[in-house]
């Protein structure tokens, strides 16, 4: 009962907040304390200013930074309706019915049945379930025992009068044969008490006796006032004894008000399987048997699921949904796992409160034979990022059991949040998909490789003019000349394939000869190793390829020090300067000058919060950059060590769905060392007027 009904003085808006807090499904509740606080403050403001609370839309400022996939069924309306109609027939007609749900693993068989469970809770009906185990196929009736054990425990949770009613009904039904059921369900002895032993019978007679006793026991619960729904999952693994008992129950004239729902993987059950043979026999009787075959979700269903999971409009999420459908073939379980993996690996980021800081710093443990580049790729960071965050750690031999800092929290660059923003100092790309008014901002971020000394990646604003899959590389003459001088003659054309340095996907920019592309040399991601183009890990460029349309603006900035807000706290993130650039500490001077003159957005927000920057802490961070965001406000503890100490500890595992083996090849390590060694001898600048320079 809503609070406003119980107490008429409770305003409807406040009553709605309470009901939202108590909502049955997680996605209907508040996702953040900040969202609840915003609604309560709205109520308080109205009450203090008007003496009443006007109705308003709840949760307008409630946006979680976690992926929360709705607990609802997608694309299963007809199947759910068919199952509910079967239960209604059992209610009205009384005749038992068997409904079989088939489909591949992960297709959603159990989820469809759970919808029925929600609809038939007591007093309307009784729902119990059990699941067959492929390793217990030799134990007769084990799954039935599992299902009815739950029911017996429900009886034991009632008061003494309720237990007594069930005790009397069961004793009357089974007579002197109660020990047969106690042998199957030991907990039943707590309800009906100790029972006398039953006489031994020949096997066939014993089986017939057990079926009759179980049928009578089942009749205590399967009644007109509360029909019984029995769900048996994994029927491809059912035992022979249970199969015979189910055939007996569904075809016997004395069984009433029983709905048996069986789920099985149709790809594991052939025509000669005992289940199929028994079903053929049942269908020849007058018993009611219904089949529900679950197909994969349609692209439209997957699109709706993705859009509601990331809280965006379909038009915005359709590129991601197409990729998800392609990778999962519409299997609901795989869709959930794929989206979860994307979120866990920071391939999808939520900027829920319009903050400037996304992600969180984490710490993992180095395993045997790990290198920092191995760990970096697993957690979607680049070489320079992970080395900078772990000073003093040998990149090639970090040591088994050593804690490794994962710099997976980022202060967004000081740039318009549209299209692609590339901060070359951070060696990181940020994609801000378009959104409509009122939508939450989403940012997708990946590490990148950029132009080496003498071939710097240009700064400024451009746009994407073409997308190419499996591109051909035409090396510019300047690049061919460089290779020729090193004794490495490049061909005039390099076709798509493992030898193509552009990888499998490419975005062409309006700047002639400059690209954003994948690579056949993942070791270069997170380093200055290209001829000016931007490189991504192969798995990252594949995700972006379908999501970023032609015409998307691209802004390249060089910001070795970035400041931004997370809630009421100001953070700074510093990176080592690129060769030839001034250190990050120089970036503090114009920032401080603008704040002193009240000429920046940052200055206004500091004034709003009555806060001050700890310039000493900011200067220290700029002089010793770790790439880890650190609070830089007076009165707030500010050090990389404190942030790292509070970081979440995570497992060092290969991401779900990874397309690589988690280990850098020996040849990659050698090329790492060659690239790093070449930094001390900058190459002469060379122009390029044809092709593209990867």
Does any domain span residue 201?
yes
Residue ending a domain, choose from 247, 275, 293: 293
Helix ranges (DSSP H) in 525-569: 538-545
Q: Are 386 and 428 in contact (CB under 8 A)?
A: no
Q: Are residues 85 and 137 in the same domain?
A: yes
**pTM of the model as a whole:** 0.51
pLDDT tens per residue across span 49-95: 778 888 887 876 676 666 778 878 899 999 999 999 999 999 899 99
Does any domain span residue 470?
no
Q: Are residues 98 and 160 in the same domain?
A: yes
For residue 147, what pLDDT is reported?
Answer: 93
Residue from 257, 311, 531, 533 carrying the catalytic annotation: 533
Q: Are residues 140 and 198 in the same domain?
A: yes
For residue 683, what pLDDT is reported?
Answer: 24
Residue ending a domain, choose from 269, 293, 317: 293
For 42-98, what is the HEC assignment? Answer: HHHHHHHHHCCCCCCCCCCCCCCCCCCCCCCCCCCHHHHHHHHHHHHHHHHHCCCEE
Q: Are residues 177 and 136 in the same domain?
A: yes
Does any domain span residue 241?
yes
Q: Are 290 and 90 in contact (CB under 8 A)?
A: no
Is residue 533 annotated as part of the catalytic site, yes or no?
Answer: yes
Name the burial class of residue 440, with classes exposed (0-12), middle (13-18) and buried (19+) by CB atoms within 10 angstroms of its CB: middle
pLDDT tens per residue across span 261-301: 999 999 899 999 999 999 999 998 888 999 999 999 999 99
Does any domain span residue 263?
yes
For residue 352, what pLDDT is reported?
Answer: 46
pLDDT tens per residue across span 151-175: 999 999 989 998 999 999 999 999 9
Q: Are residues 207 and 96 in the same domain?
A: yes
pLDDT tens per residue across span 618-671: 888 888 888 999 988 887 777 888 888 888 888 888 765 566 665 655 445 455
Q: Are residues 36 and 137 in the same domain?
A: no
Does any domain span residue 357?
no
CATH at residue 181: 3.40.50
Q: Are residues 150 and 214 in the same domain?
A: yes
Give 248's DSSP letter.
H
Q: Are residues 95 and 189 in the same domain?
A: yes
Does any domain span residue 471?
no
Give 108's DSSP letter.
S
Range of 34's domain?
3-50
Residue ending a domain, choose from 273, 293, 313: 293
Is residue 517 annotated as part of the catalytic site, yes or no?
Answer: yes
Phi/psi at 364 (nearest 5 deg)? Answer: -130, 180
Q: Are residues 18 and 100 in the same domain?
A: no
Total domain count for the chain?
2
Q: Are residues 27 and 149 in the same domain?
A: no
Q: Are residues 249 and 163 in the same domain?
A: yes
The total of other beta-carbon atoms located within 10 Å of residue 123's CB is 8
**How far, CA to CA in Å, does 416 sit from each of 352, 432, 561, 580, 588?**
17, 9, 17, 26, 20
Does any domain span residue 532?
no
Residue from 257, 311, 446, 517 carrying the catalytic annotation: 517
Does any domain span residue 71?
no
Q: Is the pLDDT of residue 34 over 80?
A: no
For residue 324, what pLDDT is reported?
Answer: 93
Q: Are residues 189 and 89 in the same domain?
A: yes
């Amino acid at each position: 009962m809503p609070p406003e009904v119980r107490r008429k003085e409770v305003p409807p808006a406040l009553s709605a907040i309470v009901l939202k807090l108590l909502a049955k499904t997680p996605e209907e509740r508040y996702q953040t304390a900040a969202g609840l606080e915003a609604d309560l403050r709205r109520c308080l403001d109205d009450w203090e200013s008007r003496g009443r609370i006007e109705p308003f839309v709840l949760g307008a400022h409630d946006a979680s930074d976690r992926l929360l996939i709705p607990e609802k069924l997608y694309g299963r309306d007809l199947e759910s309706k068919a199952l509910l109609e079967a239960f209604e027939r059992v209610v009205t007609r009384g005749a038992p019915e068997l409904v079989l749900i088939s489909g591949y693993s992960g297709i959603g068989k159990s989820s469809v049945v759970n919808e029925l469970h929600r609809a038939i809770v007591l007093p309307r009906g009784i729902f119990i379930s059990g699941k067959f185990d492929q390793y217990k196929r030799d134990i007769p009736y084990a799954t039935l025992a599992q299902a009815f054990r739950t029911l017996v425990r429900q009886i034991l949770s009632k008061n003494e009068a309720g237990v007594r009613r069930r005790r009397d009904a069961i004793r009357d039904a089974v007579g002197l044969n109660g020990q047969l059921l106690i042998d199957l369900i030991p907990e039943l002895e707590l309800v009906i008490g100790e029972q006398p032993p039953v006489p031994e019978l020949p096997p066939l007679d014993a089986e017939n006796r057990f079926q009759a006793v179980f049928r009578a026991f089942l009749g205590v619960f399967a009644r007109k006032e509360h029909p019984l729904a029995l769900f048996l999952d994994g029927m491809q693994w059912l035992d022979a004894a249970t199969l015979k008992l189910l055939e007996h129950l569904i075809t016997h004239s004395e069984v009433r008000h029983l709905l048996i729902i069986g789920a099985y993987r149709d790809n594991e059950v052939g025509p000669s399987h005992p289940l199929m043979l028994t079903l053929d026999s049942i269908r020849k009787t007058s018993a009611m048997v219904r089949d529900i075959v679950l197909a994969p979700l349609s692209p439209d269903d997957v699109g709706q699921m993705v859009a509601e999971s990331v809280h965006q409009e379909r038009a915005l999420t359709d590129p991601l949904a197409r990729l998800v459908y392609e990778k999962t073939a519409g299997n609901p379980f795989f869709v959930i796992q794929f989206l979860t993996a994307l979120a866990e690996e920071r391939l999808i980021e939520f900027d829920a409160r319009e903050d400037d800081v996304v992600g969180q710093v984490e710490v993992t443990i180095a395993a045997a034979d790990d290198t920092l580049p191995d760990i970096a790729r697993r957690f979607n960071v680049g070489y320079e990022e992970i080395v900078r965050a772990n000073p003093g750690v040998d990149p090639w031999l970090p040591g088994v059991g050593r804690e490794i800092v994962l710099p997976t929290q980022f202060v967004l660059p000081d740039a318009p949040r549209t299209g692609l923003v590339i901060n070359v100092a951070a060696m990181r790309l940020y994609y801000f998909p378009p959104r409509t008014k009122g939508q939450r901002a989403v940012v997708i971020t990946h590490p990148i490789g950029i132009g080496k000394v003498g071939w710097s990646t240009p700064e400024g604003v451009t746009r994407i003019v073409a997308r190419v899959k499996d591109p051909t590389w035409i090396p510019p003459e300047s690049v061919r000349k460089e290779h020729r001088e090193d004794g490495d003659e490049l061909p005039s054309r390099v076709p798509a394939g493992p030898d193509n340095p552009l990888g499998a996907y490419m975005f062409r920019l309006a700047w002639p000869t400059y690209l954003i592309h994948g690579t056949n040399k993942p070791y270069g991601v997170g380093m200055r190793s290209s001829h000016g183009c931007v490189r991504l890990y192969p798995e990252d460029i594949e995700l972006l390829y379908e999501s970023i349309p032609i015409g998307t603006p691209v802004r390249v900035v060089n910001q070795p020090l970035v400041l931004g807000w997370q809630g009421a706290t100001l953070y700074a993130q510093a990176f080592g300067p690129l060769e030839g650039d001034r250190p990050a500490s120089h970036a503090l001077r114009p920032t401080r000058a603008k704040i002193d003159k009240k000429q920046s957005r940052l200055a206004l927000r500091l004034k709003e919060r009555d806060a001050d920057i700890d310039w000493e802490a900011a200067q220290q961070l700029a002089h010793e950059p770790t790439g880890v965001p650190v609070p830089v406000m007076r009165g707030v503890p500010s050090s990389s060590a404190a942030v790292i100490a509070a970081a979440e500890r995570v497992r060092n595992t290969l991401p779900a769905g990874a397309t690589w083996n988690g280990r850098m090849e020996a040849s990659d390590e050698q090329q790492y060392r060659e690239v790093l060694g070449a930094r001390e001898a900058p190459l002469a600048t060379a122009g390029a007027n044809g092709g593209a320079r990867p």
